[in-house]
Amino acid sequence: MDKPATIKDVAEMARVHAATASRALNPQTRDKVSPRTAARIVEAARALGYSPNSAARSLRTRTSSVVGVVIPDLRNPVFPPIVRGVEDALREAGYLALLGNTDGDAARERDLLATMRGQQLAGFILATSKRDSVPLGPDVSVVLVNRRTDAGDVPSVVADSSAGVHALVNLLIARGHTRIAHLAGPQDTSTGVERRRAFLDGLATRGLAPAGVEVCDAYSEQAGFDATHKLLAATSATAIVAGNDMIALGCYGALAELGLRCPEDVSVTGFNDMPFVDKQRPALTTVRIPHYDIGYEAARLLLERIATPSSPPKRLVLPVELIERNSVARVPLSDT
Amino acid sequence: MDKPATIKDVAEMARVHAATASRALNPQTRDKVSPRTAARIVEAARALGYSPNSAARSLRTRTSSVVGVVIPDLRNPVFPPIVRGVEDALREAGYLALLGNTDGDAARERDLLATMRGQQLAGFILATSKRDSVPLGPDVSVVLVNRRTDAGDVPSVVADSSAGVHALVNLLIARGHTRIAHLAGPQDTSTGVERRRAFLDGLATRGLAPAGVEVCDAYSEQAGFDATHKLLAATSATAIVAGNDMIALGCYGALAELGLRCPEDVSVTGFNDMPFVDKQRPALTTVRIPHYDIGYEAARLLLERIATPSSPPKRLVLPVELIERNSVARVPLSDT
DNA sequence: TTGTATGCGTTATCAA
DNA sequence: TTGATAACGCATACAA
């Protein structure tokens, strides 16, 4: 394989000028060239295995078909399906995804964004979890995933946390629970505060007071473990609504250590429906989030934004689904 | 924010020619310009917030600081840590990762590679699993992950499958098992054939014949489930070495359906040590692969290759670790 | 409908 | 050590 064919090679083979070839090869301007010559050019391109040099194109058009996808850590199981959804939507439109992890570190995020900005990216999908404003100018297209700015001036795609928590709370109440506690996620994440608020709201509308609320440092098993210990040292509860599945797993561990059975003694719920939580003992009752769809829709939104930057910033809220398994039991009779 | 500053702006501010500014700003050629003027230029660049236009640079140098990372499906839990390792190593060197999924589909892979090739990528990391040769010319830098070409002319990073399977087989034998079967992974993957061969070898060197070998269509729970049924219809075994954890999980399911207890009736082993297999019932005895390190080392190898294309193609084999949990029991007395 | 000319920002080559 | 110039491949304004 020698040097890749350029548009000039294609033009030469089709006996036209490079400009004509450019027009014929570009869907945008295809109609500015006669069908006959266009066909000849397309054929020549195919024959030569022509693939446009994106650097040259970017240099000329000041944009590219690449979008930056920024997440905290790919190893967090919620992100792979999201990123996959993003990638699929992007690819359907001929775009590519540039992936970067920030570990939730502001400095690393700034650094990454700076590096990416040098690449003439067409836009960004940000799935970092902090609630502060977007560290990008208004001249770049951005879609937020899993979080929103307080101002609401940036397009975003999130799952309906409130509806999910309400469904969980209602399920517990229907099972007879009245002493329900919450292991909240970090309060510098939008999901953390939204779910916490929904928990309080949900309880209040049913005339119940929370049995306790403990905030976790992180969405991790360890944090869930620690918070459960703290929570149960201060209060007793027959049910615990965990901020997400990881926290719920930590809760499982702490419960076992305290000699409490789940769900016989304490019911536990999660959030996210991560892979394999159906295989836990007990299988976790949780809320399923359409991760893939979130990613897919986010990319669609970004593409839309790129095409029409003036379009109003949509905020998409995707429905969630209650997944009942075995970690919720009817409240023990001795506790009623 | 107006138009980003160009090297011309920097040059103007530093009262030098653009070419000089270019030399001063490029670490490679920094020493070709006097320290005094260099300092002036660097200062001007800083003041203007100059960030080189990578499209222009790529156009000129015919390369970029971006590498393509191609995997079958990010949702397969083995890939996130690998990709994360790749990204970390890349970032340390100022490179970015362009991610694409192929679903193991040859057409989709070809398509993706073609699209990526237009991007002047510095190289590729291929984690697709087929054993056929690399669909890329010899002019591009490539490192394979999780597989190798038969010819061995392409650098690669893999885990030591053989050592892992041998450890598993020896463990089972030490527990008294003699009727050991294998649920092999797909035989068009290098891991599938390597582990199968290691299984047969391991057994043979201990003077044992396999109780049965069933090949799975895919590395999936469903395939493991089906293969287990087929296997146990044809033979009986007290231990099953699954091609990987997913297959082992499918095996769990089939065993339960057949009224067989694990590990009391049948011992099962996995491969990979995916997240959460320690939480299964029973906790899975498996082999841990250094996923992150594999990705990290693959990226290092690629960077090395990019810097020195003539360097010999290294083949890295990373050590694995036997993780003993509860899915392996001493062989039932009635079976000895 | 097609061809001509030009410039995007950078770096390599050559000359000074 | 620095400056001038050209070229990378493409897309577009303008001319024909």
Which residue is the nearest neighbor of D7, CA to C1'?
A: B60
Residues 6+ apart with CB under 8 A from A192: A184, A185, A186, A215, A243
Amino acid sitting at position B31: D
Among residues A15, A32, A51, the one where a domain terminates is: A51
**CA angle, corner A282, sides to A173 and B328, nearest 5?**
180
Nearest chain B residue to A93, by CA: B115
Specify whether B304 is located in the same domain as B218.
no
Q: Could you say which of B79, B87, B114 has the minimum Cβ distance to residue A101?
A: B87
Specify whether A73 is located in the same domain as A133.
yes
> Chain A 45-104, CB below 8 Å of chain B: which residues?
51-56, 58-59, 64, 66, 69, 73-75, 77, 79-81, 83-84, 87-88, 91, 94, 96-101
Give the CATH number, domain containing residue B301: 3.40.50.2300
Q: Give the closest residue to B276 by CA, choosing from A328, A58, A320, A75.
A: A75
- Tell me whether residue B56 is in a domain: no
Q: Decide if B262 contacts B273 (C-beta within 8 A).
A: no
Q: How far is the CA of A298 from the C1' of C11 (A)?
A: 38
Specify whether A198 is located in the same domain as A232.
yes
Specify whether A225 is located in the same domain as A197.
yes
pLDDT at position B34, please? 92
A199 vs A258: CA distance, rounded Å:
25
Specify whether A269 is located in the same domain as A327.
yes
Specify whether B260 is located in the same domain as B299.
no
Specify whether A211 is located in the same domain as A274.
yes
pLDDT at position A136, please? 67
pLDDT at position A1, please? 47
pLDDT at position B134, please? 62
Would you write out chain B's pLDDT as a tens digit for each of its 336 residues?
467 899 999 999 999 999 999 999 998 898 999 999 999 999 999 999 898 999 999 999 999 999 999 999 999 889 999 999 999 999 999 999 999 999 988 888 888 988 888 888 999 999 986 656 566 666 789 999 987 777 778 899 999 999 999 999 999 999 999 999 999 999 988 889 999 999 999 999 999 999 999 999 999 999 999 999 999 999 999 999 999 999 999 999 999 999 999 999 999 999 999 888 988 889 999 999 999 999 999 999 999 999 888 889 999 999 999 999 999 999 866 655
- Tell me whether residue B269 is in a domain: yes
pLDDT at position A138, please? 66
- Tell me whether residue A1 is in a domain: no
Specify whether A181 is located in the same domain as A312.
no
B109, containing H or E segment: helix B106-117
> Chain B 225-264, CB below 8 Å of chain A: which residues?
249
- Tell me whether residues B119 and A94 touch, CB distance under 8 A: no
pTM: 0.91
Q: Decide if B7 contacts B25 (C-beta within 8 A).
A: yes
- Tell me whether residue B17 is in a domain: yes
> Chain A 272-301, CB below 8 Å of chain B: which residues?
275-276, 279-281
Amino acid sitting at position A120: Q
Count Cα neighbours of A40 within 13 Å in the Cβ-side half-sphere.
Answer: 13
B68 vs A10: CA distance, rounded Å:
26
- Number of domains forming the structure of chain A: 3
Helix axes A245-257, A221-234, angle to 10 degrees: 50
Is B307 in CB contact (< 8 Å) with chain A? no
Q: Decide if A186 contacts A219 (C-beta within 8 A).
A: yes
Is B18 in CB contact (< 8 Å) with chain A? no
- Tell me whether residue A122 is in a domain: yes
A34 vs A25: CA distance, rounded Å:
12
A280 vs A301: CA distance, rounded Å:
36
pLDDT block averages, 10 residues each, chain A of length 336: 82 92 91 91 92 92 94 93 97 95 89 86 86 66 84 88 97 97 93 96 97 95 97 96 96 96 97 89 96 97 90 94 97 65
DSSP, res A272: B
Is B6 in CB contact (< 8 Å) with chain A? no
What's the domain range around A45?
Answer: 7-51
- Tell me whether residue A56 is in a domain: no
- Tell me whether residue A244 is in a domain: yes
- Tell me whether residue A239 is in a domain: yes
Q: Give the closest residue to B157 by CA, choosing from B333, B331, B320, B334.
A: B320
Specify whether A172 is located in the same domain as A123.
no
Q: Could you say which of A84, A97, A120 has the minimum Cβ distance to residue B98?
A: A97
Q: Give the closest residue to B226 by CA, choosing from B236, B234, B238, B214.
A: B214
Which residue is the nearest neighbor of D8, CA to C1'?
A: B60
3-state secondary structure of A66: strand
Specify whether A222 is located in the same domain as A273.
yes
Specify whether B219 is located in the same domain as B132.
no
CA–CA distance from A196 to each of A186, A217, A268, A293 (Å)? 10, 14, 16, 24
Which residue is the nearest neighbor of C1, CA to C1'?
A: A33
Is A1 in CB contact (< 8 Å) with chain B? yes
Specify whether A191 is located in the same domain as A326.
yes
